[in-house]
Chains A and B, each alone.
Chain A
C-alpha cells in the first residue's frame, strides 16, 4: 500500500507539485496522465528520491514506512523500482556486475547472504527470456550502445531480476515501435502477481489496452484533478485535456 498525502515538491526553486494525494493498494495498476509540464515526472522522481527534487510538504508512506526519510537506495531495497524515461549509459560497468551489486544489496537489506554465482547466472538466463534480451547484453556496459527499445527492455529485465513491490513506469512506451511495446508490456504483465503494484505514466491508449489499469488519474498544475477507471484514459485519448481544464474552471 502506497499513500501520498498533500505532497508539495520543487525543482531548482520552482514548485511543481502542489498537494498531490494518491493511494495505490497492493496489486493495483494506476495510470497517471496529464499534459506536458504538469508534474508527472516530478512525482515519479520524488517517489524514488532523486536529490534534484526537494519535497517541501506532505508525506509518502509505503507499507507503513516513511519513504521520504529513506535514501534512494534504501527505497529501492524496500521494493521501489523506476523504469526510467531515458535510462543512462554506464560504460565499463557490465549489466551482470551491476545487477549482482543491486541484487546483493537488496539481499543484504533483507538479511540474506549474497547470491551464489551459478544461481545468479541462472536467474539472469531465466529473466532475460521474459523480454527476449540477448545474452551479449549482459557483458556490455549498462545500456551502453543499446537502442531505445533495448534500453526499455533492459529496464523491465532489471525489474524482473529485482522483483520490486512497487514499480513506476515513466513513459516506458515512448520511442517504442508496436512490437517492442508489446514485448515490454507483456513482460511487465508477466511480473504482476497480485501483490505488487505500479504507477504508469503514459500519453497513449496502447498502454491502456495492454495494461488494463485499475485507476486512471489526471495530473494538472501539480494536482490530481480527475480520477476514474480505464475509460477516462480512452476519453483523454479521444478528446485531449482541454475539456478537463474547462471542467475545472467552471467548478466553484
Chain B
C-alpha cells in the first residue's frame, strides 16, 4: 500500500534505556513524546494526561484483585509502536475489509488501529443536540456553539452530572486516558429510537508491532434506544496491543444493546474497559463474545442509579491453544426494583486459560434482584478456568443468586449422538456449539444473532471465524 512507501511515524515504547518495565514504560514515553502526542490529539482528551501518568508512576508491581488472573505486567512489557501522527494505514478500509453484518444495514465506522477512517455516510454534529451523531470525537470538538466546543457541552450535559461516571482505579483506563488521541462518539438524542444499529469495526493492521488506544463515548438521551456492535479484528501475525475505553451514559428510560465480537489473533493483546452509567428506568443488554484472541480482557463497570434499572451482561468465550480470556464484571446496584443478570459460558480447549469475575454490589438502600451464572466446559487436559463470584450485600430485602460450574462434555450425550451415526468430532462440535448457543440466543437482533451463531460454529469447526463476505481473512494470509 502506498502508505508503506515511507514508514509510518511511530515511536518505540519499550526503549532499551527504559527506566522500568510494565506500565511505567508508558509514563516514560509520555515524558519524551507528550508534546507531539498532544499536537495530533483532540485537545479535550489531552487535558488529563499528566494526572494519569502520575497514577501510573505510583502504580506498583502488584495489581491487586482487579487483575488477579491476567498478568498485566507481562502483557504490557513487549515493545510496540504508536501511530502518533495518525496515519490511516489502510486508505479505504470500507473497501478493503468489507466487514458488515448481513441484513443489518448498520451505521458503520471503521477504525484502523486507532485512526478513524472517513465514514461512508458522514454525519455532522448538530448544534441543537437534537440529531443523532456517530463519528469522530475530533469533529465534535471542532464544532462550536456560542463559543463553546460541542464536546465540552456534551461533557457538561452528561458526564459531569454523574460524579462517579468513570471508574478510575484501573491501570488500563489510566493508560488509555494517557495515550488516546481521538475516539468515536455515538449520540442518540432524547426520545429517538435508532432503527439501524451502529457498528464499529476495529481493525489492527500494521506490519510492525503496534499499540492502539481507542475511546468510545455512547450518550443515550431520555427514552432513547440504540444498538451498538463492536467488532475487533487483527490482520496478519504482527503483535498488537490495544486498549479501548468505552464510556456509556444512559439517561432515564433509555435502552442500549451493546454487543462485542472479538476475532483477533494469537499475537493480539486486547483490553476493553467499559464504564456504564445507567439512570432510572434504563435497560442495558450486553453480550460479549470472544471467538479468537491472544490475550483478551473485558472489564465492565456498571453503575445503576435510582429505581427500575435493568442490566443484563452475558458473554461467551471459545478458546484453545495458548489463548487467555478474562471477563471482569462489576455491577453497583441502584435502589428499588433494580435487576441485574450476568450469564457467561466458556469452552476451553488446548492449553487455554479462562477467568471470570462477577461482582454484585448492593447498597443498604437497595431492593434488587440479581442473578449471576458462569458455566465452563473444559475440553482438554491442559486448559484451565478460574471462576470468582463475589456478592457484596449491605441490604436486607434483596434476592441475589450465583452459580458456577466447570465440567466436561456429557459423555452420554456424545455416545447417543454417535449411535445415530454422527462422527465423534461433529458430535463434539454440536455439543459445544449448543453449550454456548443459549448465550448467543440472548442477542435480540436476529441477523446479528444468526451471524454470530454461525461464526461460533465455524470457530468450533476450526475454520477461521470470519463473517460472510468479509475480506479481512484475505489480508490474514
Cross-interface CB contact of A98 among B423, B430, B437, B438, cutoff 8 Å: B430
Q: Mark A65-103, 1 if CB is under 8 A from B, else 0.
A: 000000111001100011010011111110001110111
Q: A73 touching B434 by the CB < 8 A rule? A: no
Q: A76 touching B420 by the CB < 8 A rule? A: yes
Question: Which B residues are CB-close (under 8 A) to A91?
Answer: 434, 438
Tell me whether A106 is interfacial, beta carbon within 8 Å: yes
Interface size on B, residues (CB 8 A): 22
Q: With both chains docked as a complex, state the minimum distance between the C-beta of A238 and any C-beta of chain B, in angstroms.
A: 35
| A161→B418 CA distance, assembly (Å) | 16
Question: Which A residues are CB-close (under 8 A) to B120?
Answer: none
Tell me whether A202 is interfacial, beta carbon within 8 Å: no
Q: B434 touching A93 by the CB < 8 A rule? A: yes
| A162→B420 CA distance, assembly (Å) | 8
Q: With both chains docked as a complex, state the minimum distance between the C-beta of B249 and any C-beta of chain A, in angstroms.
A: 36
Cross-interface CB contact of A102 among B420, B433, B434, B437, cutoff 8 Å: B420
Stretch of B362-370, B390-398, B407-415 that contacts chain A: B407-415
Question: Which B residues are CB-close (under 8 A) to A141?
Answer: 434
Cross-interface CB contact of B434 among A50, A71, A92, cutoff 8 Å: A92
Tell me whether B421 is interfacial, beta carbon within 8 Å: yes
Tell me whether B464 is interfacial, beta carbon within 8 Å: no
Tell me whether A51 is interfacial, beta carbon within 8 Å: yes
Q: B419 touching A76 by the CB < 8 A rule? A: yes
Tell me whether A158 is interfacial, beta carbon within 8 Å: yes
| A97→B417 CA distance, assembly (Å) | 11
Question: Which B residues are CB-close (under 8 A) to A109?
Answer: 421
Q: Mark B372-398, 1 if CB is under 8 A from A, else 0.
A: 000000000000000000000000000
Residues of B396-453 at the interface with A, using a CB-CB cut-off of 8 Å, are 410, 412-413, 415-424, 426-427, 430-431, 433-435, 437-438
Interface size on A, residues (CB 8 A): 32
Cross-interface CB contact of A105 among B413, B415, B421, B435, cutoff 8 Å: B421
Q: With both chains docked as a complex, state the minimum distance between the C-beta of B30 and any C-beta of chain A, in angstroms.
A: 49
Q: A105 touching B434 by the CB < 8 A rule? A: no
Q: B416 touching A102 by the CB < 8 A rule? A: no
**Contacts A71-B424, A101-B426 hold; do A90 and B419 have CB atoms under 8 A apart?**
no
Question: Which B residues are CB-close (under 8 A) to A106?
Answer: 421
Chain B residue, CB-CB nearest to A82: B419
Q: B418 touching A87 by the CB < 8 A rule? A: no
Tell me whether A48 is interfacial, beta carbon within 8 Å: yes
**Contacts A90-B431, A93-B434 hold; do A105 and B422 have CB atoms under 8 A apart?**
yes
Cross-interface CB contact of B416 among A71, A87, A97, cutoff 8 Å: A87
**Contacts A88-B412, A93-B430, A105-B426 hold; do A98 and B420 have CB atoms under 8 A apart?**
yes
Give the A-binding residues of B (Cβ under 8 A): 410, 412-413, 415-424, 426-427, 430-431, 433-435, 437-438
Give the B-binding residues of A (Cβ under 8 A): 48-51, 71-73, 76-77, 81-82, 84, 87-93, 97-99, 101-103, 105-106, 109, 141-142, 158, 162
CB pairs A–B below 8 angstroms (9 shown): A71-B418, A73-B421, A88-B410, A88-B416, A90-B431, A98-B420, A98-B422, A103-B421, A105-B426
